[in-house]
């Protein structure tokens, strides 16, 4: 059985994530020299913890994990409630502090179990008829499963992670065959509601934040500072980069936080356009291969899990890289396998383990036409 799984596994996914991890480790090396490489050392420790967990996830039949998903869903809902009563760190109540340097972020792990539980429920709904998902009450039940953790995460507040949940849900519903009328209705509602919110609901400081995003030079020493420095860093790297440990914005402390939110800026400045472009290509290949896993999964639930993971990776890639270039708002979303962070790294390796698990057991194409 193990030989069959290993033979069918989509190894390109693992190659992509290891390549990203190597580039991220180099970026952490060059951006943590003033702290005696403390974050790099901790990141390598998390890698040592993450890889065995990923291997374990690969060989446990994902249907067994699915059966446990209601329990884990309930546990993480409780954790998302409990974390709201923890001390504020970096403007949010998102972490349980285990030690001074080790923190546990439940919203990261919740992404996995919400996707798995949602896939489980969707597969039950569609067991007899694929069109069951389009019945209003059943679709409402599916949305409620996601909205509970999303609202708790917004309360922290952590808008980036909340949007990642929504992105995964949208792709899962699309693959499940949701009726186009729902998609059109949501798009129309967004087009109508967003301008109304901006003009009549949002407070002045929120409007100012949006204005500064559209034009960072309105507040170059305040809200617009980080994105201006990030764009300077990426631009100054040109084709081949300024060289490791030689980036002005990176080494002189103008980028912050350079090991998490703006790690791509470090890569662009010190390694140049070629390596930064390679990072984007690696993500595109990883996501493409993950979509193929979803397409060739042996059952609906495996397909939904895989496409949900695609949604998570796709949003994190687009949002993190987009915000460093000033194309998207800054939300504090990490770059998978590249940014520093233990909870994020373990979560990402579990996602890779699930993709390899599903690909190792695949048999047929089940995408809805």
pTM: 0.91
- 103: enclosing H helix or E strand: strand 103-104
Give the pLDDT confidence of 32-78 residue by residue, as tens digits.
988 888 899 999 999 999 999 999 999 998 999 999 999 999 999 99
Cα–Cα distance, 47 to 89 (Å, whole number): 24
Radius of gyration of the chain (CA): 21
Domain boundary assignment for the chain: 2-360
**Terminal CA-CA length for the chain:** 32
Cα–Cα distance, 337 to 194 (Å, whole number): 33
Q: How many CA atoms lie within 13 A of 334 on its CB side?
A: 19
Q: How far is CA 153 from CA 58, 144, 294, in A?
A: 29, 14, 27
Q: How far is CA 158 from CA 106, 114, 138, 234, 337, in A?
A: 12, 16, 28, 26, 20
- Cβ–Cβ under 8 Å, residues 286 and 10: no
* pLDDT value of position 363: 65
Cα–Cα distance, 285 to 263 (Å, whole number): 20
pLDDT along the chain (369 residues), means of 10: 77 96 96 88 94 94 92 95 89 82 88 95 86 88 93 89 92 90 85 81 67 81 87 93 92 89 95 96 97 92 96 96 90 92 94 95 55
Cα–Cα distance, 239 to 270 (Å, whole number): 10
Token readout for 358 is 């599903």
* pLDDT value of position 209: 66
* pLDDT value of position 172: 94
Token readout for 289 is 């291969």
* pLDDT value of position 58: 93
DSSP H helical ranges for the chain: 2-8, 11-31, 38-59, 62-82, 106-125, 136-155, 159-176, 180-196, 204-214, 225-237, 248-251, 263-270, 272-296, 300-324, 342-360
* pLDDT value of position 203: 65
- Cβ–Cβ under 8 Å, residues 335 and 258: no
Token readout for 92 is 């949010």
């Amino acid at each position: 059985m193990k030989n069959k799984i290993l033979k069918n596994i989509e190894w390109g996914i693992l190659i992509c994530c290891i390549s990203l991890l190597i580039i991220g480790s180099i970026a952490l090396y060059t951006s943590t020299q003033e702290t005696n490489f403390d974050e790099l050392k901790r990141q390598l420790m998390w890698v040592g913890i993450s890889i065995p967990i990923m291997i374990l996830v690969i060989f446990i039949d994902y249907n067994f994990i699915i059966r446990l998903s209601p329990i884990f869903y309930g546990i993480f809902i409780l954790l998302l409630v409990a974390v709201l009563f923890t001390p504020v760190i970096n403007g949010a109540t998102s972490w349980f502090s285990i030690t001074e340097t080790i923190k546990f972020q439940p919203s990261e792990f919740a992404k996995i179990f919400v996707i798995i539980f949602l896939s489980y429920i969707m597969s039950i709904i569609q067991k007899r008829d694929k069109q069951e998902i389009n019945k209003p009450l059943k679709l409402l039940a599916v949305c409620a499963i996601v909205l509970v953790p999303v609202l708790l995460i917004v309360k922290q507040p952590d808008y980036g992670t909340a949007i990642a949940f929504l992105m995964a849900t949208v792709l899962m519903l699309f693959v499940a065959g949701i009726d186009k009328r729902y998609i059109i209705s949501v798009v129309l509602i967004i087009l109508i509601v967003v301008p109304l919110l901006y003009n009549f609901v949002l407070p002045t400081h929120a409007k100012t934040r949006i204005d500064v995003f559209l034009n960072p030079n309105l507040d170059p020493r305040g809200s617009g500072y980080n994105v201006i420095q990030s764009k300077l860093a990426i631009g100054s790297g040109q084709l081949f980069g300024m060289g490791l440990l030689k980036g002005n914005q990176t080494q002189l402390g103008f980028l912050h936080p350079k090991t998490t939110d703006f790690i791509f800026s470090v890569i662009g400045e010190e390694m140049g356009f070629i390596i930064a472009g390679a990072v984007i290509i690696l993500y595109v290949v990883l996501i493409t291969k993950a979509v193929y896993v979803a397409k060739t999964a042996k059952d609906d639930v495996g397909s939904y899990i895989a496409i949900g993971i695609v949604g998570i990776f796709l949003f994190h890639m687009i949002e993190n890289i987009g915000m460093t270039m000033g194309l998207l708002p800054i939300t504090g979303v990490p770059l998978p396998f590249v940014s520093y962070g233990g909870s994020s790294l373990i979560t990402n390796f579990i996602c890779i383990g699930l993709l390899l698990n599903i690909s190792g057991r695949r048999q047929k194409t089940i995408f809805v036409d």
